[in-house]
Structure 1
């Protein structure tokens, strides 16, 4: 019997989806790829394969899960299986450089960015950027890993030479211009089946770690599920959001072969939009959804069911 196969490495981020699949009485199986094997002499089962592999898997001790997922997706594509977020989507998930080059090619504005490996080159990257303040971030990240705000190159040097410096898992640090939002908010647009579903405003006044999943650890300094972190809701759905950027995103996702994604952008004081993150392992904030009566995992489960049918 054909089933929905969920490729992932984090049970906490997947259970909300499996709950919805059970609610809709859809058959499914989880492929947790922290460990596993690929028999290249065998054919994969028949069904729909949904890739939820995360760039931040190494923070949960699953260092090689994305590489294993890449192999599995290649195998599935060899056999022409139906895949939601295939190997091309995974390549965007694990590389912000790939995101920014593709977005720029599509005519979508991104913040000025310089990539570097090695501490001396990170400092040189900041000098080449020539803008202050600026931020650092990891090329292969997720959960806002490595995001730090600096007012000067001297502050960056002190950070790089301190125990606080976090080496990126792929060795690549990005130096990026800091876009100041007058309201200290960013917007995250969610897409399912390549189509816009909803947008949320996210309060960034307490920091940059903006993982919307309910499973974020409460001891994460800027976790959105921490009741003590902010007085107002950190995630708030925008009613009837309309903007020309949405049609640009939909066209981009079609070209990039990304079916399910959350795309984050920020507006500066002049209203200019800068797009800075594509998350193909998208999660949804349950409190914001409950207030608005829209549910991403339910919509996603229905979409997977249609693909299976």
Structure 2
């Protein structure tokens, strides 16, 4: 267990302190109960693992617990076909009834999704595996199933929070790679109507993106096209395999995080901008 002096634990406690300060600074703020999210009918199994063709990726390691996402949320649990708010005594929640949520752990030992109250008691605690599936819903909700097949939905504060949370989930899933299995990680990060068009093999797609490089020296931006567009045909080998495979299934105007292992990127050769065996984000 972590002591009160641990930086990660202190950050967890700070979430509630920041929320109380915001409450004091905004006297006009009034509590509104969050709307119940709709059932996560589109929770799907993760894509199948792809056989490794190169040695496992090198990953940065950390000897101390780290938090890669921290915020507050309103949690719900799926019961009898509908989501029910998780009941927590008022003195154990934030001023607006919210709870803390973090994605934390060490890259070496894996990552955990934790929703907790003011006493640091866990309400949801789930180890994030490669196959973990978090599905963005409308109105800044995210749905997922835990290891006991309980389906949860957490309401986050903003679309930006959802995007950052999904990035953390993607990185946490890749932290669970093993020497036998290190598949491409695809993590949707925005809600899209289920009837909107999906990208498929043979289609021509247009994307905007940022490319980050992860390796033993940390992360750096190696390519950026947020203000420009890149067009390519899926399956025509115009881009790296991880990108071609990664956009399959994306819906029109949606966003997605990819964590690409070296054998689906530039492999052992690398490029002028990417060292050999680089992991791309």
- TM-score of Structure 1 vs Structure 2, range by shorter chain: under 0.3
User: What is the TM-score of this pair, normalised by structure 2?
Assistant: 0.25
Greater per-residue helix proportion: 1
Greater per-residue strand proportion: 2
User: What is the TM-score of this pair, normalised by structure 1?
Assistant: 0.23
